[in-house]
Structure 1
Amino acid sequence: MKLLSRAIAGLGLALLSATGPALAQGYPAKPIRMIVPYTPGGSIDTVGRIVADEMQRILGQPIVIDNKPGASGMIGSQEAARAPADGYTLLFNASSQVYMPLVIGRKTYDAEKDFTPVAQVGYVPLAVVLNPAVPGKTLAEFAASARSQPGKLTWATSGLGTTSHLTEEMINRQLKLDMEIVLYKGAAPQLTDVVGGHVSAAVSPLPGVSPFIKAGKLKAVAVTSAKRLASMPDVPTVAESGMPGFELLSWYGLWGPANMSKEVVAKLNAAVHQAVKNPTVRARFAELSFETADNTPAQFAGLIQDEIRRVGQVVKAANIRIDP
């Protein structure tokens, strides 16, 4: 009886190992749903749509963007984590996917255990922007103005635990600013209220904020990269503005639910990197100062582990803790 049980178990394992490549060969056989856990029009949504549009040509099936904003991206992330691990529900998110569990008092998901890393798509600096009527041509000038009128000026953030939020918290602490941080459900409403003068300033990734800067609706006073950007050479870095050594970039990636087939993950990873090499996509990304990445799922998983350690140290040192 034991021998029969072992034989059946062995047959089951053999069948499972055989079905993985077979499933990958037929994948995708239907449309793919890509969850973006923020509102349409922001940086994550903008980049996600550019990548999805090219990926669906490569994969031969539609990729449907499903915006699920709320709770600083946690609603969409949780929905992706609960989906079947068959490759037909994916999550396109930014580094906030990893940062959020570091700062929230009550964890709702584990950034490593509840997801399968598929591909890092790339990374981008953020810009510190002001409503044009707010004083200051640089972050240093703006900070001096903010210190002279404590509690009057305000920040807008696209979500708690985002790179936008962490940067604003760090600027407040290091430059000794008394500025409230107002929460929004994504970059589009965040920036709209800064343009409208309801909030004084914001930190936001370049893909979403660039059109507002180019149109003169917002003025950029600093960028979060280590060096000045070729596209905005007159805008100082945050490091030049009283915070030496500062650099914080927003990186973007594609995840699936935990335990996805390695063969399906490999096929999606290849599609992502083929998509970002398309000349039209590269030209669009160049306009947004977006740098693409080319790594394996294992390398992406390694990046996530490194970021949890690195940013976790910053969060702990700055005592950043939130309860949404």
Structure 2
Amino acid sequence: MTPAQRSSPKIELHVHLEGAVRPGLLAEIARGNGVAPPVPPDGSYAFADLYDFIAIWNALTDCLRTPEDYRRSLLAYAAEAAGHGAVYLEPVLDAEERLGGPSGWADVLAACADAAAEARDRFGVAIGLTPQVFRGQDVAFAEEAARVATRFAGRGAVGFGLAGAEGRFPTVPYARAVRIAADGGLPFVPHAGEAAGPAAVREVLAMGAVRVRHGVRAVDDPDLVAELADRGTVLDVTPTSNLRLGVAAPDRPHPVTRLAAAGVRCSVSTDDPAIFDITLAGEYAVAARLGVEPAAAYGAGLAGALCDASTRRWLADVGARAYGEVFAESILDK
């Protein structure tokens, strides 16, 4: 990777904060909380499939217990990502009952909102938080978490998501939580089309999704691919994550290659960089080899970003200076 590739401006719309904490910091935080960090000696995590990965991810997440843990984690990743050219991030934050119920969740969001403002000043990277709930979670808690999240609309939070074991737990029970968040100013940015197929993508689009995190299984339905291209819907693609979790196979073209060729806007993200031992610049390089050039990835990121108007203008200026006419072509309305 050349210095120019590393420093070129990047937008990342799909990074789980809990999965972005590097092993050294995670171990330090875990010890402070009296928890044994689930970090292997060589720092390399192994998992058989998506659901095995989710179990590991849950164990890692359990190490973060306090608002200060989240604040430190967000600042650490902001600094790292900025070093790889990031100018805008939309970190994902899971609402967890273990954080102390709704009031504890509010404290975590407040700490992250403060960290986001600090990161803009210190590292030059703008951050929009995207709190989320997950499939299989207590529905009443998810709805209360949505209400708490709306208190931060315009104060750091820009969207509301839904993740979890897609295909094992249904999406529909969380429709009310999604409406609560949307009515409170937080657009819906769910995970779909990763473990489950095109029907899962259609389901979240019908629920009002403004962008889809993953969505690559849409490639199995040509009509859906054409619809996504026509609508200009942005898919947040995570190339290495898709390969490591079996969503894409090494012996056939990566779904992003076919999606991009069909005119679907694909932003590029790391998903869980500490767990996969990858970087944002590295994923942009991988995506370029798969058919999504940096200018197109940045343009898709800008199209999908949930930032305010002034931040959007700034990001557009950054893209124009870095990528010129290629970037202008990448953001044309479809």
Higher relative contact order (CA 8 A, sep 6+): 1
Is the helix fraction higher in 1 or 2? 2
The structure whose Rg is larger is: 1
Is the strand fraction higher in 1 or 2? 1
Q: Is TM > 0.5 for Structure 1 vs Structure 2?
A: no
Q: Please report the TM-score for the alignment, with normalisation by the length of structure 1.
A: 0.31
Q: Please report the TM-score for the alignment, with normalisation by the length of structure 2.
A: 0.30
